[in-house]
Amino acid sequence: MKIFDDEKDLLMDHEYDGIRELDNHMPTWWLWLFYFTIAWAVGYMVYYYMLGGPTQEELYEQEMAAAAEQYGIEPEGEEGGEAEASDFTWAFLEDQERIEEGREIYMSNGNLCFTCHGANGEGMVGPNLTDDLWIHGCSPENIANGIIQGYPDRGMIPYGSGSRLSDEKVQSLISYIASIQGTEPANAKAPDPRAEPCSL
């Protein structure tokens, strides 16, 4: 092993199979990083185990609540869980605010309607929502029930993503769907063979 002149004073006494070790000091940046990890570990232990910092379960609940607020997801509770039959009177509204609310729901990441039906309702994996051919009927009740119950055998779970909406929000959503009838968007999907003429 070649030993440079400036390394002679740094050589340590031990040797293993001709391998010798230099007595180099640790780099300053490495030492400060090491001290930082010690300080971090002490602070972590004091905050989470001695001062009552949030547990993993509490942090999970906080993140779920933040996600529900960000994506407009209805929290589970009296309105959550499995969809139940209701005596709500369904209708296509002409109120522009409700139609706009429906468009926002349609385009939201909470219910994901646009991911299957296209941003303009032209149809992708799901059918075209802008023509007058419907598979399951086109009355307000038909469309609302389709949203609420979904078509799991065709890949659509209730409310599109399983994130339940109030009846009022479903009303807004079906009103938006009614508002895009006859808009003839580009790249419209070909009609499903099972679809039949139906006018809203």
pLDDT at 5: 66
Least Cα distance to 15 among 30, 29, 1, 33 occurs for: 1
Which residue type does 188 have? A
Cβ atoms within 10 Å of 4's Cβ, excluding its own: 7
Q: Do the beta carbons of residue 144 and residue 137 sit within 8 Å?
A: no
| Predicted structure pTM score | 0.60
Place of tokens 């030993």: 3
Provide the residue-wise pLDDT of the chain in tens; the chain has 200 residues.
Answer: 566 666 667 788 888 888 888 888 888 999 999 999 999 999 999 999 899 888 888 888 888 888 777 766 665 544 444 445 567 899 999 999 999 999 999 999 888 899 999 999 999 999 999 999 999 999 999 999 999 999 988 889 899 888 889 999 999 999 999 999 999 999 999 988 888 998 87
Q: Do the beta carbons of residue 54 and residue 36 sit within 8 Å?
A: no
User: How far does CA 183 lie from the centroid of its chain?
Assistant: 29
Structure tokens at 139: 């009355």
Structure tokens at 187: 């790249």
Which residue type does 69 have? E
Structure tokens at 144: 């609302």
Pairing of strands 19-22, 11-16: antiparallel
Cβ atoms within 10 Å of 5's Cβ, excluding its own: 6
pLDDT at 79: 45
Cβ atoms within 10 Å of 123's Cβ, excluding its own: 21
| End-to-end C-alpha distance for the chain, whole angstroms | 89
- Residues with Cβ within 8 Å of residue 111, at least 6 apart in sequence: 105, 159, 160, 161, 163, 165, 173
